[in-house]
Amino acid sequence: MNIKHFADTALGQLDNIGFQLDEMGITDKVNRHTIIAFAMNEQQRLQGELDSLKARVGSRKVQVNRLITKAENLVNSGVELALTPARFTIETVKSKLNKG
C-alpha cells in the first residue's frame, strides 16, 4: 500500500473521530486538531526510535565484522605457526636432495 495513501486515509479517519467528538460535545480538551497533532507527534517519535534502532544495529554490525576479522587473523596466524616446522622440514629435505 502506498504510504501517502495510508497516511491520507489515517488522517481522514482521525478527522472523522474529531467530528464525532464534536457531535458528542467532547471538544473542550480533545478535538480533531489535537488528535491529528498527537498522531503526527507519535509518528515523529516512532521515526526517531526507528532511526535510533538502525544506528544501534549498524554499530553492532561493525563490531561483529571487527570480531570476525580478528578471529580470521588469529586462525590464519595459528595455521602459519603450526605449519612452520613442516615447511622448514620440507625445505631442508629439498635442499639436501638438491645437493646430493
Which residue has better confidence, 57 or 24? 57
Distance, in Å, from the CA atom of 96 to the CA atom of 44, rounded to the nearest integer, reads 77
pLDDT bucket at 28, cuts 50 / 70 / 90: low
Report helix, strand or coil for 88: helix
* Residue 32 confidence (pLDDT) above 70: no
Distance, in Å, from the CA atom of 99 to the CA atom of 93, rounded to the nearest integer, reads 10
32 near 18, Cβ under 8 Å? yes
pTM above the 0.85 mark? no
Per-residue confidence (pLDDT) for residue 40, from 0 to 100: 83
